Amino acid sequence: MYSKVVAVHSRLKEIVAEKQREIIRLKRGDVPLDRDKDSSPRRDFKGAVSVPGRVGLIAEIKFASPSAGIIREKMDPVSIGRIYEKNGARAISLVTDRLFFKGDLNQLPRLKKALSLPVLRKDFFIDPIQVRESFLHGADAVLLIARLLTSQQLKEMLAACRECGVAPLTEIHDIHDLEKAVECGARIIGINNRDLDTFKVDTKTTLDLAPLVPESCVLISESGITTGKDIRRLKGRSIDAVLVGTALMKSNNIAAKTRELVEAGREHGKG
């Protein structure tokens, strides 16, 4: 286990401490990682979310969060995933943290079996063993939060992803995160509009940072996107995709909300 993690705000300390405990259990074998290697081919997450001429939708399955509380009462994630896929989402994001977000990693293999879309595992990654765990559960991609990792740790996590054939989505929130991500070789960048120090959301973060991201990178905007109008606002900002969770999961009509966001992305692609 890493002896040092980049300093984080007190609201994240509990989450990071729980991840450290989970890693200890993984490393001492309390959580088995010795089952047969997942032989299913990885789905192309990067290709799925970077279709020329459109802003793709990464539709998230998330039942709760520390900032929002309960977002939606529990229902079968596969049922939600099927709605997303049927209505045009390009990829699925599954939040797997159990304690703080009411997620369940064991749902990931079920989603892979039921759907044809790539599946991103969204959690708090601070050790390469979590990448291997994700691979064994069938993840096509994982979320790496630059703020939580030193440069050396981020390089090791990216290397672990390459070794497993899992796509890393490296999340940033400010210029310092961006510089770290690019220097470490990240090629899929997610701009999180949510400040992890305050949990406040401002989509201006994407507008400010997007022009600074190298053109060679796939660029994703995360958090605070609730309507098709929000996606249209990103026109001309070189955004390849948006990751949307709360607006979909809170909707009274998930299918209609998915179509709204997908159609807005088709109107205005990367420019």
Look up residue 96 and give its amino acid.
T
Q: Give the separation between CA 56 and CA 49, rounded to whole angstroms.
A: 5
Q: Look up the pTM and report it.
A: 0.91
Q: For 142-163, write each residue's pLDDT tens digit.
A: 999 999 999 999 999 999 999 9
Residues identified as active-site: 60, 62, 122, 171, 192, 222-223
Q: For 62-71, write each residue's pLDDT tens digit.
A: 987 777 777 7
**List of domains in the chain:** 45-267 (3.20.20.70)
